[in-house]
Amino acid sequence: MSGFPPPLIGRHPARVLSNLDAPLGGLRRMILHAPELARTAQPGHFVQLSCGTDLTLRRPLSIAGADPVAGEVELLYAVVGEGTRRMVQWRPGDPADLLGPIGRPFTLPPPGETALLLGGGVGTAPMVYLARALAAAGIGGTLFVGFRRPEGGHRSAALPLGSPLEQALSNGSDQADGLVTDHAARRLESLPPEPRGAIRLYACGPPLMLRAVAALAQRFALSGEVSLEERMACGFGGCAGCVAPMKDPAAPQGWTHRRVCVDGPVFPLDAVDWERYLAAHGG
């Protein structure tokens, strides 16, 4: 995982088709007409979206779905700053300017395996996309999603996945539903060793959640992949502002930094140096 990936990033003029509240933890759901992007995107890819020429930096957003036939791309986003506050005002027919698809996507499970997907907050977006891809490929899987706020427990009837969807709140043990990783642990504990060993884990969400997923993988001897969320400025790997610590036996200190935007955002679960990753995020 070094160097730049093959050049597939393009600039895509797009048009807003819809921009509404999604029944997922206070997120919003935007559908864009971007035919070329819809043809080249894969689960795990993200885009850099311009929120105005006066805002120097684009906003990185994971792709939540792509329909190459209709030429449509779906984004799920939370309103957290000036850029996303502007996005709320976009209406059908408004133009949008995207760069993408960016990054390394997920790899689907090999034949005979199923998937267990965990999404937290805005990290739900790539998990939704992956769940749809698994369903389209005839691969079984379950998606658990978690949100910090109680209103995050809405069922996602507006987001058909083609695979089972279960939701859990992620705002602490005082909530009856528990953490999203609690749900996953109970699911794994309920399975006998043989089918359990044929499950691959996938996750995207806040650092503590991802570390818990890595612990699940170790506990049940499972492999998997994780999409890391970092603050990204350029999206091309040039600024190195989104680096994350990765295990590297060849490095003198046993670990090295990788750029999440181009070396990731998807990494093997066991490749991340989770202790240093959490320390870098105040964990």
pLDDT one-digit tens code per residue, 40-58:
999 999 999 999 999 989 9
Ranges assigned E (strand) in the chain: 10-21, 28-33, 46-49, 59-67, 72-77, 95-102, 114-120, 141-147, 165-169, 199-204, 224-227, 243-247, 255-259, 266-268
What pLDDT shows up at residue 183?
83
CA-to-CA distance for 280 and 243, rounded, in angstroms?
10
Instruction: Over range 111-125, report the average pLDDT.
Output: 90
Mean pLDDT, rounded, of the chain: 86
Is the pLDDT assigned to residue 59 strictly greater than 90?
A: yes
Neighbours of 190 (CB within 10 A): 8
Q: Is 251 exposed, middle or buried (0-12, 13-18, 19+ CB in 10 A)?
A: exposed
CA-to-CA distance for 76 and 64, rounded, in angstroms?
6
- What are the angstrom distances between the C-alpha of 132 and each of 54, 164, 238, 269? 36, 11, 32, 21
Q: What DSSP character marks residue 153?
A: G
Q: What percent of the chain has pLDDT over 70?
A: 86
What pLDDT shows up at residue 112?
86
Is the pLDDT assigned to residue 154 strictly greater than 50?
A: no
Query: Based on C-alpha coordinates, what's the Rg of the chain?
Result: 18
Phi/psi of residue 88, each to 5°? -60, -30
Residue type, 189: E
Q: Is 231 exposed, middle or buried (0-12, 13-18, 19+ CB in 10 A)?
A: exposed
CA-to-CA distance for 59 and 49, rounded, in angstroms?
5
CA-to-CA distance for 162 and 240, rounded, in angstroms?
37
Name which of 53, 61, 23, 265 is nearest 161 in CA terms.
23
| Residue that has been written with the tokens 């739900």 in this structure | 124
Query: Between these two residues, 271 and 25, which has the higher pLDDT value?
Result: 271
Beta-carbon contacts of residue 101 (< 8 Å; ≥ 6 apart)? 8, 9, 37, 40, 41, 42, 45, 46, 47, 63
What's this model's pTM, rounded to 2 decimal places?
A: 0.89
What pLDDT shows up at residue 54?
93
**Ordered domains of the chain (ranges, CATH):** 10-102 (2.40.30.10)
The answer to whether 84 and 78 have CB atoms below 8 angstroms apart is: yes
Instruction: Over range 93-100, report the average pLDDT.
Output: 96
